[in-house]
Chain A
Amino acid sequence: MYKWIKIVRTEQIINRYSFNKDNLTIGRKPENDVQIDNLAVSGHHARVDRTGNDYILTDLQSTNGTFVNHKQIVSHTLKHGDNIQIGKHVLIFLASEKQEAGAEEPVKERDLDKTMILDTAKQRELIAKQAKPGTAVPAASEKIGVLSALGGSDLGEIELTKKLTRIGKADTSEIRLSGMMMGATAATISKRPSGYTIAFTGGRTKIKVNGNVIHDSVPLKDFDTIEIGSHKFQFYQKETK
């Protein structure tokens, strides 16, 4: 089975490198197998070595790092479809015979089937059109929401580690709050595809976001203030490792 590395450059060039030897070097200098002429790329940035059936990507202590599927790696065993980011370039590792056979057919002729192919004339054109020269690929990282208690509370910083955080008086609440008028579950914060959302659960406790009483749910933005009864918090998101 052939293994391929495909390179998608935001400057609109796409290239494909097949594995016909035991290793492949990636870097800015011309002696690399995959040369990426960009200052964000180190002279000798990374390499891929074949060991048995595995292909191992190693970052050669590059200045700006090597990312696989948005996570920074030192060494990584490549899987089919892995998205390798070096500087603002994206390289895709492909490993199946199916891809090999159909690689040069335009997507349209493939009946819009689900493919994992990236280099066709049409796609090149599209990528060229979509490319925003000079845009660096941000190293996407996981973010976690934090509630920071305001106004002399001893609750401090509370990380929202659950997909769903219940806030209220009940013992089973992830965040327990006291107060005469506090509901068993006064509010919930859920992490949704669009981000964190706070919801009013219908009790007697008033929920305010930036001073406005909420009746169903609102998405939370960094530095929103949240009032739950007499408790006050500020919401923000921080990077996690």
Chain B
Amino acid sequence: METALARSAGLTDVGLKRDGNEDAFSIDESLNLYIVADGMGGHLAGEVASRTAVDLINKSYRKWKGSETPEEEIFGCPDVSLSRNGNYILGGIQFANKVIHEMATHRKEYKGMGTTIAVLAFIPGLIISANAGDSPIYMIRNGRIEKISKDHNFVAEQVEMGLMTEEEAAESPMKHVLTKNLGSYEDLDPDIFEIVPANNDRFVLCSDGLTDLVTDDEILQMVEDEQEPEVLCRNFIDIALKRGGHDNTTVVTVSLSGTRKPKAGPIKKMGALLGDISSVILKK
């Protein structure tokens, strides 16, 4: 039993200025795992980086979650501030970074490649949001939009240090200078957040091809105006193309339609089978 009944859709578009699409995404409603990656690097390297990251994170999460692997056995974990599933995501991202970094270091055609990553996962009673780079994750709740990822770029850091205002940051051509990504460095410390879900939460994961051209308020408005995930994705791609489509654009939208509150009843039946999950449910 999953608390979250998610409806989702994803769409990617090469845009009007680029030859290839270096973005990648994945949607897995059975795992409740949603990923967007924006690759960089010459020739086909960017595509390889983003696809590798999406696949590795998806596979490792599936494997570890399926076997309820203890955190201690996970690559580079545990981070004690996170839940077990949060550690699965962290481990998956760190593992993907290691692999992409290795490929970029040892193969000439992949030199300099890297990718951003935005990962959203649901387990009963918990939303996990993880990212590295500048592909954002938004949560829309009660008519408000909140970015539940952290932008890892030079200007965002300048804003955080108080050296630049938000307005200056939006105008700065340096907003594409990333301070974190998968591939460039041997080690990576992604940002991960854990939040309790609420009824009818909705989420947008995207590449900066969208957020370069569309404001947070516009995203909020578009989400409020369209309930169908597929149509919403199409609307986002259309607006990016209408405004110039200078970059690849990828959007994944997820709606938690009617979060089921786990009741005490079924827990007895599940017993020890769902050790991890039921412990979360019991907290309700």
Q: A81-B179, A191-B193, A201-B196 are in contact. Are A135 and B163 (CB under 8 A)?
A: yes
Q: Within 8 Å CB of B212, what residues of A?
A: 112
Query: Given A80-B184, A170-B282, A193-B148, are A137 and B173 neighbors across the interface (CB < 8 Å)?
Result: no
Tell me which residues from 126 to 155 in chain B have a Cβ below 8 Å from any Cβ of chain A: 126, 141-142, 146-150, 154
Is A10 a contact partner of B184 (Cβ separation < 8 A)? no
Q: Is the interface of B mostly helix, strand, loop or mixed?
A: loop
Least distance between A225 CB and chain B CB atoms (Å): 22
Within 8 A of A (CB), among B176-192: 176-179, 184-186, 191-192
Give chain B's interface residue range (CB within 8 Å of chain A). Answer: 35 or more
The SS class assigned to the A binding surface is loop
In Å, the complex CA distance between A149 and B126 comes to 27
Docked pose: A161 CA to B194 CA in angstroms = 12
Please count the residue pairs between chain A and chain B whose beta carbons lie under 8 angstroms apart in the complex.
Answer: 123
Which of B53-61, B78-86, B91-99, B229-237 contacts the other chain?
B78-86
Residues of chain B from 7 to 32 with CB closer than 8 A to chain A in the complex: 17
- Asked if A107 and B173 make an inter-chain contact with CB atoms under 8 angstroms apart, the answer reads yes
Q: Counting CB contacts under 8 A, is A108 at the interface?
A: yes
B174 touches A138 (CB 8 A): no
Q: Is A163 a contact of B173 with CB atoms below 8 Å? A: no
How far, in angstroms, from A79 to B181 measured CA to CA in the complex?
13
Query: A192 to B146, Cβ gap below 8 A?
Result: yes
Contact of B196 among A115, A161, A164 (CB under 8 A): A164
Given known A108-B173, A114-B178, contact A173–B196 (CB-CB < 8 A): no
* B142 contacts A190, C-beta separation under 8 Å: no
Identify the A interface with B (CB < 8 A): 10, 69, 79-81, 83, 96-98, 107-108, 111-118, 122-123, 126, 129-130, 132, 135, 137-138, 140, 161-164, 166, 168, 170, 172-173, 184-185, 188, 190-194, 199, 201-202, 216
Binary interface encoding of chain B residues 111-139 relative to chain A, with 1 for a CB under 8 A from any of its CBs, else 0: 11000000000000010000000000000
**Bound CA span A149–B192, Å:** 28
Instruction: For B269, list chain A residues within 8 Å (CB).
Output: none
Which among B82, B149, B246, B261 is the interface contact of A163 at CB below 8 angstroms? B82
For A113, the chain B residues whose CB sits under 8 A away are 40, 176
A96 touches B112 (CB 8 A): yes
Q: Is B164 among interface residues, defined by CB-CB distance under 8 A?
A: yes
